[in-house]
Structure formats: C-alpha cells, structure tokens
Amino acid sequence: MKGENRGLALKRGSWWFSRMIQGKRSWVNLETADLADARKKRDVLLSMPRFSARDQMVTMTEKFLGEMLADGIYSRDSFESRGYILGELCRYLGEEQTVQKVTESDLRAWLATMKKRGLAASTIESYCASARAFFRWARDREKLRPDFPAEVLPIGKTGNARAVEEALTREEMRALLKGSKTDHRIRFVMLCGFHLGMRKQEIVEARVSWFDFRRNVTHIHDTPSFRPKDRDRRFVPMNPVVRRWMKLYLRGRKPGEHALMPLIKERTKARYRWDFRKPFDETCQRVGVECNPHLMRHTFASILLEDNAASIFKVAEWLGDGVRVVQRRYAHVRTNDASINVLARRK
C-alpha cells in the first residue's frame, strides 16, 4: 500500500504529489480528494519527461508566445497584447511560481481580483481567453501537467469560438451592407470585410494604393506603419460591386493616404490609429444583426466555400492563412457538397 501511494500526501482535503528534481522537492496539487484518481494523475506526471521544477510561469509563457508567433497563430499585435495579459498573470501568481503548481483556486482568485478592479466584461473575457490558451498548450503540447486548471475561467459569449465556428447568412450580410449606405466609412469597412476578407487592422491601415483598378485586385502589403500577419503580402480580386464603389470612393485621393480616414493624423510615431467599432456597432444595432469585424472575414470564406465558388486553396490564399487553418475552420460549412451522392449511384 505504501508503494502505491509513493509521493502522495493529503493536504487540506486534496491530494498532492511531490518529487525530487535535481535536489529540489516540487509539489503539485492534483486537484482531487479521491485516492485512486490521485494515483492516476501521479502516474501521468511520472511519465512526463518534461516534468521539472524549473518550468516557471514566466519562462513557459515566453516560450508559448514565441511558438504562437512563429507558427503564425498570433500576429505581432496579438503577441504583444497576449504577452501583457500573461505577464499580469505571472506577476499576480509570483515570480517563482511554476506551471505545475498553479491551482484552480489561484485562477479563481485572479478572476475575482479583475472584477474588483472594475475591468470591463470584454476585457476580462480577453484575459481569461489568453490564460485558457496558455494552460491548454501547457497540458497538450508541453505535457507539463495532466489537468486543465483554467477550466474555472469563463468563456466569453462573443469570443474567438463564435468567430471560428460561425458566419452570417447571405441575407444578414446583405442587410448590413444595405444599412451601411448612409455612412461611407462603414460601407468601406463592410466591403473590405465581406467582399475582400480583410482583417480589422488591415481595413484600418489600408492605403489608397492597395486598390489596383487596372489589374482589378486589392494588394495588401507592408506600409511604413503596418505589416500584415506573418509579413505575407497577398492579392485579393475585386468583384464588380467592390470595384465600382471603391473607384468612386477613392477618386482623386493620393496613393499613400489611408483609405478609411485620411484626415486622421498619426497619433504615435509608429502607427496610425482609428477604431471604427463604435459606428460599426451602431450600424449593426440599427439593422438588427449581431456582427463583429472578424465575423465578416469568416462570412467571406464561408459563402465562397458553401457555393463551391472557389477552391479551399484559393480561399486560403485570399485570406492569407494556411490551407490547414482554412480546412480546420471552414470544413463544416460545405454541407451541400454534391460529391457525397456518388455513394448512392448504381453501376
């Protein structure tokens, strides 16, 4: 019996596992009061070659962010914002805290602290989403722990899961485009999102020179204050609606001007900024369709794939994403693929 419980200790109603690593004892809360469950979790930890007391939160969050940036999952802006959030979490937990020692109660306390600070609900959702992503990576990729302590953190109602899995219907998209006719700024935003699949920051940073009416394409590329995700420049064809409207909207403008708000000057040395979310949200509310900037991009891809109007390779090229990313996110939308009928054919 003693050998079966090797390394286990019951503390405050929960089983803990200890192990000597390089002369230093490390304790891990197994988050269970059941002995059999604790033995299973201990055995999983023992099978993990990377189980080490040196895996501090600060070190591992830096590694996580570096991998996300290198794999193209995070843009440079996302890398910086997630880095700030995870840095806040590390400072709250303590400089010497390791990934294995973080408990559900630690994260509950962190969540309560954010609420006491009076942070907006959307900000708390972003903080929780970043923490969940990190601990999921620590469990699945790095094998640092067998459990998922961030399960106690709430998932936002309008977070990434909705953007990845859903898209607007064709009728909803048309209603929003029709409702945007009274504001040329929002009309520009929605045409860029729904018809060109552009990201929010790409729409904000778009220059007049990006719209090539001679070749009939939109060329998304670096500017002095902006670089696309993964630094990849790309071309997206303009359909007749976009070409006709953009030609009138940009007539007489200088090539280097910002296409969306040319009168806004640079507010910092490195970056032009203008956030269209308030007028965008007002338009959506007036039309009665819930939408966000990234949902326009997903709608662009979904409609093209639903109608088999473009191959998944073309859609990936126009979005600036890898084929595997597009396949993972949009495979579910191809519900009307007639090729399935071959199973019912007779010889």
Structural domains present in the chain:
8-46 (no CATH), 57-157 (1.10.150.130), 164-333 (1.10.443.10)
How high is the pLDDT of residue 54?
57
How high is the pLDDT of residue 118?
85
User: What is the reported pTM?
Assistant: 0.54
Is the C-alpha dihedral spanning 178, 161, 204, 219 positive or negative? negative
**pLDDT tens digit at each of 347 positions of the chain:** 556 777 888 887 888 887 655 445 667 777 788 888 888 888 877 765 444 445 788 888 888 888 888 776 777 767 888 888 998 999 899 867 888 889 999 999 999 999 998 887 878 888 998 999 999 888 888 888 888 899 889 876 544 434 344 678 889 999 999 999 889 999 999 999 999 999 888 998 899 999 999 999 999 988 877 777 666 789 999 999 999 999 999 999 998 888 887 665 555 444 556 778 889 999 999 999 888 888 898 888 888 887 666 778 888 888 887 777 777 666 555 555 555 555 556 65
